[in-house]
Structure 1
Amino acid sequence: MKSTLKAIAAACALAPACFATLAHAADAALVRRGAYLAKVGDCTACHTVSNGKPFAGGFKMLTPMGAIYSTNITPDPDTGIGHYSEADFARAMREGVAKDGHNLYPAMPYPSYVKTTDSDIHALYTYFMNGVAPVRQPNRESDIKWPMNMRWPLKFWNMVFLDKGVYQDKSGKDVAWNRGAYLIQGLGHCGSCHTPRGIAFQEKALDESGSAYLSGGPVDNWFASNLTGDHNVGLGRWSEADITQFLKTGANQHASAFGGMTSVINNSSQAMTDADLGAMSRYLKSLPAAGGNGRAPYSYDPKPTKVSLTRPANDAGARVYTTYCMHCHGADGRGFAPLLAPLAGNPNVLQSSSLSLINVTLNGTEDIVLDGIPAPFPMPNYASVLDDQQIADVLSFIRAGWNNGAPAVTADEVAKLRKDTHAAR
C-alpha cells in the first residue's frame, strides 16, 4: 500500500497537472454535496417560479402584511449573489441579513438555517457559486405598503426570536436520531410550516423542547399537518417505514401529500438518501403527542356511514359523496392507498381545522412527480362543479363518517376560502 502511495506521489511530482486534476475532482464532489444539501433545504420551492430559470427568484409568498417575492440566488453579479463572499452567504443563511446589510423577512427560514454546520454552509456556497447558472433577473419589491415595509424592526425581531448557534448533538441520543434532528430542525426547516406561529409571526418552538413544535398550523390557506406522536391527528399510528415512504413518494396507507408538501416531495425529499430519510423518520417518531383534537384514540367503524350511503337521498352530503367521491375513496372510506387516499381515520380529516380539506376540494392537488413521472390519480378540483353548500355538505359527511368525529364544515367557510384562493365557480 505504501509503495502504491509513493508511486502516486512521485507521478504527481513529475506532473503538476495531477494536483489540478485532484483539486478539480474535490471541487466537483463539493458541488455535488452542495447540490444535495440544496435539495434537502428545498431551495427550489421558493426561489424558482413555474417555468422560470432555476433559483432566479420571483416566487410570491403571502404574509399578513402583504405579498413578498423570493430573491435571485444565482451567481449573477448584478441581480443575484455573485458578489457574496462565503461570510456574506453564511450571514444571510444564519442571520437573515443580506450583503448590503438589509434584513430579510423570516419567510426566509434563517431561524432554522442558523443550525447548519460550517461544512454544509461551505458546500452550499460552493454549489451556488459554481454549480448554478447565473441569471440576470432583478428582484421584485414586496407589495407591503409603507410604513410596514420598513426592515429595521426586524433587527429587534431577531434579538428576541433568533436563537443563534449551530446544532449540537444531544447526549443520550444515537447517531440516526441526531442526524434526523439536524435535518428536520435545520436545512429541512420543517418547523417553518408545521409549527404554529405567535402574534409576531415567530415559530412558537424551534425544537422538541417546546410542546408546540411541529404540532401543525395554518399556512398559505392550508393546514400544515401535525407531525407529533398524536394518535389521531399526528403520526402516532405511523411507523418509521410509513414516514419514510411518505417522504419518498408522497403517499402511504394513512394519507397523501397536498399543498406545499407536494413541492417538498417533488423537489426535495424524494432525492434524499434512504439513510437521511430514515434518520428523519426516527426523530419524528420520538416526538411526544401534542396539538391533538382531545378525542379518544381513533377506531374504525363503518356501520353508520354504510347505512347513510345506502340511502343517500336522506343525506345531502352522502348524495354528493356517492356522485363525486365514492369511486375513488370507496364506500368504506379506506380508498385504495397509496394510490388513492383513505378518508377514514386520515389525520388531515380528523384535524380540527378544515382548511386543507376545503382547499383540496376547491383546487385539487398538483401532480406528485417521481423520477420525472407524474403519479396517477391526482385529486381533481371541484370549484366549478360544486357550490359552497355542496362542498360543506360532503366535507361534513366525510368528517363525521367512519367514526372520524371531526367538526362539520359550513358554507361560509367554503365561501371564504374560495375567495381567498380565487377559486372561480
Structure 2
Amino acid sequence: MKSIFASFAALACLTGSAFAQDDQDLIARGAYISRLGDCVACHTAPGGTPYAGGRAIISDLGTIFSTNITPDPRSGIGSYTEAQFSDAVRHGLRADGAHLYPAMPYPSYSKITDEDMHALYAYFMKGVEPAAQASPQTDLGFPFNQRWGMVFWNAVFSSSTSFAPQTAASDAINRGAYLVEGLGHCGSCHTKRGFGMQEKAYDAKSDAFLAGGELNGWPVPSLRAKAATGPGIAGWSEQDIVDYLAEGRNRFAAVGGEMKDVVAHSSSYMSDQDLHAIAAYLKTLTPSAPENAKPASAAAETASRLTAAKNLTLGERVYIDNCGACHFVDGRGGQKIFPTLDGASIVTGKSPVGLITTILAGASTPSTPKGPSVNLMPGFANRLSNEEIAALATFVRGAWTNDADAVSDKQVGEIRTHLEAGSSH
C-alpha cells in the first residue's frame, strides 16, 4: 500500500511539472508574440516601467497616451478575461465598453490567430510584472473626445478580417504576410492614410499597401520590394532586408526615426526564420512607379566634381568638410557603417524633415544581439548655421542620381526650434 501511494505521489509530481512546463512554454511563446507586435514600444514611457503605459503618441488629432497593460487589476488589465483582452487587441474595445483610438493598431491585430492571442494573454497575465501606475488620460478636443464616434469609424474604415493564407504562396511567404499585415502592423507607418486618418489598405490586395508616405513630417519609404534593382528597398536582396531588421543596418542604410524603436524592441528579437519570411513576403510586392531620379551617369559627374574640388557651391564645400570622410564623394558610404546617400529615401523624400533633423541632431544605430556595436553620426546644430545646413541638404537632395527639391533656411530654422524645445520631430 505504501508503494502504491508513493507511485501516485510521484505521478502527481510529474503531472504537475508537465503542466508547469506547459505554462512556461505558453508564456514564453506569448513573450515572443509581444515582441512581434512591438507592444513594449508604445506601452512604455521613456525611462518608465515596461508595459505600464504613459507614452505620448503624437497624432494629427492631438496627443494620445498609451495605457497600462500590466496585470495590475486597477491601473492595468489584470481584471480582463481572455475574451475582453481579445476584444481590446483585435477590435479596439475596452472591457468597460469604451472604444480605443486607432493609435492602437487593432485593424491590423484583427489578423492575430486564436492560438497566438491565447499565448499573448497568458504572457500578459502571468509573465509581466504588475505595475500600480495610472497613465495620463487622453484628452482630445471635440469631437474627437467622443469615443462613441469610433463605432462609425470602425464601420467605415476598420478591417476586422482574420488572416487568410494565400493558397498559391509558400509557407514562408504566408508567414511573412501574417507578420507584416498582422502582428507587425507595418502598414501603420508605411501605408498612406485617407481623409479619416485610416490606412488606405490593410493587405497586399491593394497597391497602396506599404507604398510609403510620411509620419510626423518624416518620409516613410515604400516596402514594396519585388525588383532586382531600383531606389530604396526595391534594390535590396532578401538578406539585405533581414540584416536591416536584425541589426539596424545593412550595406545600404542605417535605421533612424521611428524605425529605430521597431528594430530595438521588436525585429532584432525575431527568429531568423521569421525575418526571412518577412523578407520573402516583401519581395512579392510590386513597387510603385519610382520617384524622379537622374540617370546613373549623374552620379559619376557629382563624384568627379567633388574630387576636383574647384569652384564648389556652399553646399558642396560643406559636404566635403563635414560629410565626405564618411559618405565619400560617390555618396555610397561604407557597408554597414556609413549609410548610402545616393538614392536614400530619407534624402530623396518629398519632405526634408528627416534629413534636416538628422543633420542637426545626429543619429545612432541601436545595439542589437546581431549588431551590438553602435554606429554614431554627430549632430551639426552647434557647428553649422541654418544657411549652411540648408545648402548642404539642398546639395545632397540633388547630388548623384538624387532629384529632390531644395531646402530653405526657414525650414532648417523651424526644425532647429522644435529640437531646442525638446520635440522629437
TM-score by length of 1: 0.92
Q: What does residue 151 of structure 1 align with?
A: 147
Q: Of the candidates 200, 204, 220, which is equivalent to residue 208 of structure 1?
A: 204
- Decide whether the 8 Å contact of 1:344 with 1:403 is kept in 2: yes
Q: What does residue 227 of structure 1 align with?
A: 223
- Identity in percent: 41
Q: What does residue 80 of structure 1 align with?
A: 76
After superposition, give the CA deviation of every residue in 1:371-418 in whole Å (9 maximum; x if it has no partner).
Answer: 398533322222333232221111111122222222222223323333
Q: Which 10-residue stretch deviates more, 305-314 or 77-86?
A: 305-314
What is the count of residue pairs matched by the alignment?
A: 415
Q: Which 10-residue stretch deviates more, 75-84 or 231-240?
A: 231-240
After superposition, give the CA deviation of every residue in 1:103-147 in whole Å (9 maximum; x if it has no partner).
Answer: 111011111100000000000000000000000111211242344
Structure 2 alignment gaps of length 5 or more: 1-5
| Distance in 2 between residues matched to 1:219 and 1:334, nearest whole Å | 26
1:370 Cα shift? 1.4
After superposition, give the CA deviation of every residue in 1:131-165 in whole Å (9 maximum; x if it has no partner).
Answer: 00000111211242344322111111000111212
- Decide whether the 8 Å contact of 2:295 with 2:401 is kept in 1: no
After superposition, give the CA deviation of every residue in 1:182-206 in whole Å (9 maximum; x if it has no partner).
Answer: 0000000000011111111100111
Aligned partner of residue 417 in structure 1, secondary structure? helix
Alpha-carbon distance change, 315 to 158 in structure 1, aligned in 2, over 3 angstroms? same
Asked if 1:280 is matched to 2:288, the reply is no
1:15 Cα shift? 2.3
| Distance in 2 between residues matched to 1:267 and 1:88, nearest whole Å | 26
Q: What does residue 88 of structure 2 align with?
A: 92
Alpha-carbon distance change, 266 to 160 in structure 1, aligned in 2, over 3 angstroms? same
| Distance in 2 between residues matched to 1:363 and 1:375, nearest whole Å | 20
1:13 Cα shift? 7.9
- Decide whether the 8 Å contact of 2:191 with 2:201 is kept in 1: yes
Q: Of the candidates 376, 391, 394, which is equivalent to residue 393 of structure 1?
A: 391
Q: What does residue 3 of structure 2 align with?
A: none
Q: What does residue 3 of structure 1 align with?
A: none
- The residue type equivalent to 1:64 in the other structure is D
Aligned partner of residue 396 in structure 2, secondary structure? helix
After the TM superposition, which residues 169-180 of structure 1 pair with which residues of structure 2 at under 5 Å, given as runs?
Answer: 169-180=165-176
- The residue type equivalent to 2:109 in the other structure is Y
Q: Which 10-residue stretch deviates more, 255-264 or 321-330?
A: 321-330
| Distance in 1 between residues matched to 2:356 and 2:382, nearest whole Å | 14
| Distance in 1 between residues matched to 2:263 and 2:353, nearest whole Å | 21
Structure 1 alignment gaps of length 5 or more: 1-9
- Decide whether the 8 Å contact of 1:112 with 1:185 is kept in 2: yes
TM-score by length of 2: 0.92
1:328 Cα shift? 1.5
- Decide whether the 8 Å contact of 1:312 with 1:318 is kept in 2: no
Q: What does residue 415 of structure 2 align with?
A: 417
Q: Of the candidates 341, 344, 349, which is equivalent to residue 342 of structure 2?
A: 344
Alpha-carbon distance change, 298 to 258 in structure 1, aligned in 2, over 3 angstroms? farther
- The residue type equivalent to 1:86 in the other structure is E
Alpha-carbon distance change, 422 to 198 in structure 1, aligned in 2, over 3 angstroms? farther
Aligned partner of residue 15 in structure 1, secondary structure? helix
After the TM superposition, which residues 168-317 of structure 1 pair with which residues of structure 2 at under 5 Å, given as runs?
Answer: 168-229=164-225, 232-290=230-288, 292-295=290-293, 301-308=299-306, 310-311=308-309, 314-317=312-315
| Distance in 1 between residues matched to 2:231 and 2:22, nearest whole Å | 46
- The residue type equivalent to 2:188 in the other structure is S
| Distance in 1 between residues matched to 2:184 and 2:297, nearest whole Å | 33
Alpha-carbon distance change, 185 to 341 in structure 1, aligned in 2, over 3 angstroms? same
Q: What does residue 61 of structure 2 align with?
A: 65
| Distance in 2 between residues matched to 1:351 and 1:403, nearest whole Å | 13
Aligned partner of residue 226 in structure 1, secondary structure? coil
1:342 Cα shift? 1.5
Alpha-carbon distance change, 315 to 33 in structure 1, aligned in 2, over 3 angstroms? same
| Distance in 2 between residues matched to 1:29 and 1:407, nearest whole Å | 53
Q: What does residue 359 of structure 1 align with?
A: 357
Asked if 1:54 is matched to 2:46, the reply is no
Q: What does residue 137 of structure 1 align with?
A: 133
- Decide whether the 8 Å contact of 2:28 with 2:123 is kept in 1: yes
| Distance in 2 between residues matched to 1:19 and 1:79, nearest whole Å | 35
- The residue type equivalent to 2:79 in the other structure is H
- The residue type equivalent to 1:385 in the other structure is R
Alpha-carbon distance change, 313 to 352 in structure 1, aligned in 2, over 3 angstroms? same
Alpha-carbon distance change, 407 to 232 in structure 1, aligned in 2, over 3 angstroms? farther
Q: Which 10-residue stretch deviates more, 211-220 or 295-304?
A: 295-304
Alpha-carbon distance change, 69 to 215 in structure 1, aligned in 2, over 3 angstroms? same
| Distance in 2 between residues matched to 1:90 and 1:258, nearest whole Å | 32
- Decide whether the 8 Å contact of 2:238 with 2:280 is kept in 1: yes
- The residue type equivalent to 1:196 in the other structure is K
| Distance in 1 between residues matched to 2:20 and 2:119, nearest whole Å | 14
1:23 Cα shift? 0.5
Q: What does residue 381 of structure 1 align with?
A: 379
Aligned partner of residue 50 in structure 1, secondary structure? coil
After the TM superposition, which residues 325-344 of structure 1 pair with which residues of structure 2 at under 5 Å, given as runs?
Answer: 325-344=323-342
| Distance in 1 between residues matched to 2:142 and 2:237, nearest whole Å | 49
Alpha-carbon distance change, 110 to 299 in structure 1, aligned in 2, over 3 angstroms? farther
| Distance in 2 between residues matched to 1:254 and 1:321, nearest whole Å | 19
CA RMSD of aligned residues (A): 2.2
Asked if 1:110 is matched to 2:106, the reply is yes
